[in-house]
Chain A
Amino acid sequence: MQVSMTVNGDSHSRDVEPRTLLVHHIREGVGLTGTNIGCDTSSCGACTVHVGGQSVKSCTMLAVQAEGESITTIEGLAETARADGIATGEQNWHPMQEAFQQCHALQCGYCTPGMVMAATSFLKENPTPTEAEIREGLEGNLCRCTGYHNIVKAVQSAAEGAS
């Protein structure tokens, strides 16, 4: 069936099977492979994207459920920051991306797109979190390089930069 959604500001209308998962639609239909598939069981958060501005695990949502929605993936995050006038650093990235780089908040990088998308959604809901709140806010995202310490520091740094 036909499904239409906005991905990073661009309209995409495609014919999909109802059972097509949103993450497959984004990667294979829309062609944006920054969103990773990790566990495929809504545990690891590697596939986190924003649907209507809120973090969602795109392996546990059907593409047809996103009909009419506005999706942001890691590829479009910096552009949202530029539009909001909060892009920063040499790369003109989203402050969360900049903070991840500055704080060395990644090792292999596989969890990073999901971490960044979950963290930006979390800070919208809680702009001045404690360290403990950051850890709870990211509990749906797993890093198997045991990099949590610097990830938490990056989110703290991004929160402080925004306040």
Chain B
Amino acid sequence: MIPAAFDYTVAENAEHAIQLLGEYGDEAKLLAGGHSLIPMMKFRLAAPTQLIDVARISDLSYIRQENGQVAIGAMTKHAELETNDVIAAACPILGHVASLVGDPSVRHRGTLGGTIAHSDPASDLPAAVLALGGTIVARGPNGQREIAATDFFTGYFESVLAPDEMIVEVKVPANTGGWNYQKFNRRAQDWAIVGVAVADGGKGVALVNMGSTPLRATAVEAALAGGGSVADAAELAAEGAVPPVDNNADASYRTHLAQVLTRRALEAAS
């Protein structure tokens, strides 16, 4: 399978990418690792006529700890998150979740900024960033803005990113509080049928593939904050969620999975 024809331009830096986005408008897509976009283009689910390659912007690939936060450049690859010492020491959940994305070859190419921008509710890392209470830094023609991860995702493959904006950084609080990630799938390298990320001993709980966006399990967080037991809180995992129905699972199965996985994740994190 070969994608529909497109033109290809390499962006020299973030400003250049944003300028190109402005020039090409709706027909353009940013290309990072390409491991979500290229498959969609091969299936002709996406047919942008202009690709702007941002993967070569090397100054957007970094991991540094500053002021109690870990700042991660948008072009940082999953394989780097997986093996980075700063991540291991300051927010180990991110490295662990990164190590469960796809397979090693996919992780050599996929980027954190790319997976956040792609906004697939079945992806692992967006939920980890949500559970950690992270922030997405987006740059556009009028400068930079910070978006709380809880406000970022708006629907299936949709976010608040404007057409002429790109993600330049993801920030998460340095947090080594109790954490766990439960990913349930039937085959190696598949997306999670349901996933649950728990950060900070249960203060942050986020769900994978339980709706049109990655979701905070706010009812679980509130029950735990109010002194509820793990078992009781986990029962509320799917509250307010509208789980998708597909070949793998119907809504009731996903609801049950969310409850069980949330309980397991909370037990492991506490």
Binding site for B on A (CB under 8 A): 1, 17-21, 24, 40-43, 45, 48, 51, 54-57, 60-62, 64-65, 67, 118, 121-122, 125, 137, 139-141
* A55 pairs with B6, CB closer than 8 A: no
B78 smallest CB distance to A (angstroms): 12
Residue pair A19, B1 in contact (C-beta under 8 Å) = no
B4 contacts A by Cβ under 8 Å: yes
Q: Bound state CA distance, A64 and B5, in angstroms?
A: 13
Q: Beyond A18-B8, A60-B109, A139-B189, is A42–B35 a contact (Cβ under 8 Å)? A: yes
Known: A60-B39, A65-B55, A140-B189. A55 touches B105 (CB 8 A): yes
CA distance A40 to B2 in the complex (A): 9
Most A CB contacts (10 A, CB to CB) among B1, B7, B103 go to: B103
List residues of B whose CB falls within 8 A of some A CB. Answer: 1-8, 10, 31, 34-35, 38-39, 41-42, 51, 53, 55, 79, 83, 102-106, 108-109, 188-189
Residues of A within 8 A of B39 (CB): 41-42, 60
Partner of B105, one of A18, A20, A57, A65: A57
Inter-chain contacts of B102 with A (CB < 8 A): 42, 140
Separation of A137 and B108 alpha carbons in the complex (Å): 12
Measured between C-beta atoms, what is the minimum distance from A60 to chain B in Å? 5
- B54 CB to nearest A CB, Å: 11
Q: Is A64 touching B38 in the complex (CB atoms < 8 A)? A: no
